[in-house]
């Protein structure tokens, strides 16, 4: 197990295109960190820099207080699990798991003990003599994880390991990965574009956007106190509703005929964006929503509509509440459920 420190870590190509713009974070021993963001935001590049597969342009990366900037991947004592499994097709499951130990000169007896112990933990003992082509996608991913486990590294690095699996298997595997990580207690950094994976697996999240860490925090902090419009939109499904307005002369907000007084003191005339999640709206006196689309999800009903001023709004209702298209639906917001953002900078201003 190990601590991992990122200090002003930067990455640029050609000296002009900066893809990682100064990441600072202290990852504690045994912590499960998830780097989440859309395609092209730099999350896999950051992970590969920790692994030593990408050279850093500036800053320091330290594992257990030892700066590893110039160390080769093999000398960093980490193990990586990739999206495409990266198994040797001509080798058995046993040999795939044992290969890394063999080339490091580990004794045959110790290799056998480690492989069988990992196989038991991952419940792949019956498959040790099979070739990868004889396994399902989920079984192959367990073999890839087993290959990492037998190394007994200081840290695990996961690069979108579940992207090739179907939806049901992804849910099962993310539960198993999290349970396994807690059982082993190994510091782990996990990359995904799936915000549900991030929210359910991470002890803390790094929410990335165009090479910048928009927010670093626990899943509940990121959900309940998003630091920017980007984080608020990216975390949560369906996405948070955004309604643009301006601060009035008396410091209040005018929205769909209603007046709202923010708790945060904001200068009159400032352009602001109000954010509210669909699950923080319910039927009641407040806004007048004209229903345009209804999605029945079983336990929930998603209602899409427009306010009288033309602004769009999504409401999550219990599955028992099913309005009809064309209905006028009175909708209210839960107390303390509003968020305010500066419309120009996108930064959080506080709660309405």
Say which residue, 284 or 62, is predicted with more confidence: 62
Say which residue, 283 or 265, is predicted with more confidence: 283
Lowest-confidence segment of 120-124, 185-189, 207-211, 315-319 by average pLDDT: 120-124
Question: Is it the case that residue 351 has pLDDT exceeding 70?
Answer: no
Tens-place pLDDT, residues 195-245: 999 999 999 999 999 999 999 999 999 999 999 999 999 999 899 999 988
pLDDT band for 255, please (50, 70, 90 cuts).
Answer: confident
Tens-place pLDDT, residues 281-324: 999 887 889 999 999 999 999 999 999 888 899 999 999 999 99
Say which residue, 202 or 351, is predicted with more confidence: 202
Question: Is it the case that residue 121 has pLDDT exceeding 80?
Answer: yes
Question: Is it the case that residue 257 has pLDDT exceeding 70?
Answer: no
List, in order of start, the domains of the chain with CATH numbers. 4-227 (3.40.50.300), 238-350 (2.40.50.140)
Do 135 and 92 touch, CB atoms closer than 8 A?
no
pLDDT band for 22, please (50, 70, 90 cuts).
Answer: very high
Question: Is it the case that residue 114 has pLDDT exceeding 90?
Answer: yes
Supply the pLDDT for residue 170: 87
pLDDT band for 113, please (50, 70, 90 cuts).
Answer: very high
């Amino acid at each position: 197990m190990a601590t991992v420190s990122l200090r002003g870590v930067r990455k640029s190509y050609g000296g002009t295109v900066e893809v990682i713009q100064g990441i600072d974070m202290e990852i504690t021993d045994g912590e499960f960190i998830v780097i989440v963001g859309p395609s092209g935001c730099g999350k896999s590049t950051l992970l590969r820099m920790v692994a030593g597969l990408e050279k850093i342009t500036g800053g320091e990366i330290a594992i257990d207080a030892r700066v590893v900037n110039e160390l080769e991947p093999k000398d960093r004592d980490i193990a990586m699990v990739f999206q495409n499994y990266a198994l040797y097709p001509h080798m058995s499951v046993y040999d795939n798991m044992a290969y890394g130990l063999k080339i490091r000169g580990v004794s045959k007896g110790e290799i056998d003990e480690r492989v069988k112990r990992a196989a038991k933990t991952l419940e792949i003992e019956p498959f040790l003599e099979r070739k990868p082509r004889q396994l399902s996608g989920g079984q192959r991913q367990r073999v890839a994880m087993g290959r990492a486990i037998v190394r007994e590294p200081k840290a695990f690095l996961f690069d979108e390991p579940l992207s090739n699996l179907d939806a049901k298997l992804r849910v099962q595997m993310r539960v198993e990965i999290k349970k396994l990580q807690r059982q082993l207690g190994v510091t782990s950094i996990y990359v995904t574009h799936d915000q549900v994976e991030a929210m359910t697996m991470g002890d803390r999240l790094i929410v990335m956007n165009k090479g910048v860490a928009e927010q670093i925090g626990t899943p509940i902090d990121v959900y309940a106190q998003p630091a920017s419009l980007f984080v608020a939109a990216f975390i949560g499904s369906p996405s948070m509703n955004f309604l643009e307005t301006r601060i009035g002369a008396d410091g209040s907000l005018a929205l769909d005929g209603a007046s709202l007084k923010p708790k945060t003191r904001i200068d009159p005339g400032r352009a602001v964006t109000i954010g509210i999640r669909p699950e923080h709206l319910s039927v009641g006196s407040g806004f007048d929503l004209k229903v345009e689309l209804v999605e029945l999800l079983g336990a929930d009903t998603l209602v899409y509509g427009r306010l009288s001023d033309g602004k769009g709004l999504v409401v999550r209702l219990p599955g028992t509440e099913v309005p009809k298209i064309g209905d006028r639906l009175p909708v209210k917001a839960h107390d303390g459920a509003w968020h305010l953002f500066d419309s120009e900078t996108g930064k959080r201003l506080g709660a309405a």
